[in-house]
């Protein structure tokens, strides 16, 4: 008499077990930050270059006041202080945009496809890139401000803090811009493309030269560039002028546009992977 043993079929799930926060963790973040700090070219253009530019341009204006009726000795803000904040904004812009460069390199090398085999979600991976770019941007702002303090720029403590925060957090606009370009450009040379674009935007947005000096049509065009709003907000604590709603609207507009563009490009790219 033979007996038959019933075999229970084993169900296999094709779904991934997604860890908390989509796999985002501080170990991965620390690896990302260390990788950025090891890139000497990125460090030069995002940290050292703004400091060098400030020292080359700003030192000659240490005793030049931005106020017509008061001198720097009487407590007026110097032109050098304005240049320092503008260069800090530029450094934070470069650092934040590098997040898009990191994404483009990973896509060109096929690393994005490899990540899809891991529990790490695309959103968590992008969050790591954004925070990594912001960390480098904070380093750029701090380095530029330290250089300004060393050469003798004196500002109230609240001005240092408010201007620094505005320069740093405002660079989120360029994080979104960098991510959008990084997902649209199928190349590892995205930063070579973005470098001249950022320099162009910085010039016509009033970071290298005040818009009033450009005058005419160029000044009218400049207020629509994504660099205008961030620069105006970052320099506002030094001037004490009335709140510039145009600058705020500029930042919000470009953040929404670049953020929407980055989200669409990200969605299209992950659907192909």
Q: What is the pLDDT of residues 149-163, one digit of tens each?
A: 999 998 999 999 999
**Coil, helix or strand for 11?**
coil
Mean pLDDT of the chain: 82
Residue 271: predicted pLDDT: 64
**What does the alpha-carbon distance between residue 179 and residue 129 come to, in Å, rounded to a whole number?**
9
Residue 181: predicted pLDDT: 86
pLDDT at 3 over 60: no
Residue 23: predicted pLDDT: 73
**What does the alpha-carbon distance between residue 223 and residue 154 come to, in Å, rounded to a whole number?**
29
pLDDT at 1 over 50: no
Average pLDDT over every residue of 247-255:
92
Average pLDDT over every residue of 125-149:
89
**What does the alpha-carbon distance between residue 269 and residue 273 come to, in Å, rounded to a whole number?**
7
* 234: confidence class by pLDDT, cuts 50, 70, 90: very high
pLDDT at 21 over 90: no
Average pLDDT over every residue of 101-119:
73
pLDDT at 238 over 60: yes
C-alpha 223: how far from chain center: 19
Which residues of the chain form beta strands (DSSP E)? none
Question: Tens digits of per-residue pLDDT, 79-91?
Answer: 899 999 999 999 9
């Amino acid at each position: 008499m033979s007996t038959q043993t019933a075999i229970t079929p084993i169900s296999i799930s094709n779904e991934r077990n997604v860890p908390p926060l989509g796999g985002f963790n501080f170990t991965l973040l620390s690896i990302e930050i260390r990788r950025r700090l090891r890139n000497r070219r990125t460090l030069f253009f995002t940290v050292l270059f703004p400091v060098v530019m400030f020292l080359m341009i700003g030192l000659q204006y240490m005793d030049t006041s931005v106020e017509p009726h008061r001198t720097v000795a009487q407590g007026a803000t110097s032109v050098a202080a304005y240049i320092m904040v503008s260069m800090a904004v530029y450094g934070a812009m470069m650092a934040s945009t590098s997040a898009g460069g990191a994404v483009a390199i990973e896509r060109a090398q096929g690393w994005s496809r490899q990540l899809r085999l891991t529990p790490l979600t695309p959103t968590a991976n992008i969050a790591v890139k954004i925070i990594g770019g912001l960390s480098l941007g904070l380093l750029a702002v701090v380095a530029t401000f330290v250089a300004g303090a060393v050469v003798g720029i004196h500002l109230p403590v609240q001005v240092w803090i408010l201007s620094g925060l505005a320069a740093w957090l405002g660079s989120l606009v360029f994080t979104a811009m960098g991510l959008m370009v990084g997902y649209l450009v199928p190349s590892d040379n995205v930063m070579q493309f973005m470098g001249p674009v950022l320099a162009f935007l910085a010039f016509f947005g009033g970071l290298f030269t005040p818009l009033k000096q450009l005058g005419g049509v160029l000044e009218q065009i400049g207020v629509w560039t994504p660099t205008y709003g961030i620069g105006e907000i970052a320099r506002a604590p030094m001037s004490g002028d009335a709140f510039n709603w145009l600058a705020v609207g500029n930042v919000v507009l470009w953040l929404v546009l670049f953020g929407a563009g980055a989200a669409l490009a990200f969605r299209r790219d992950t659907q192909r992977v």
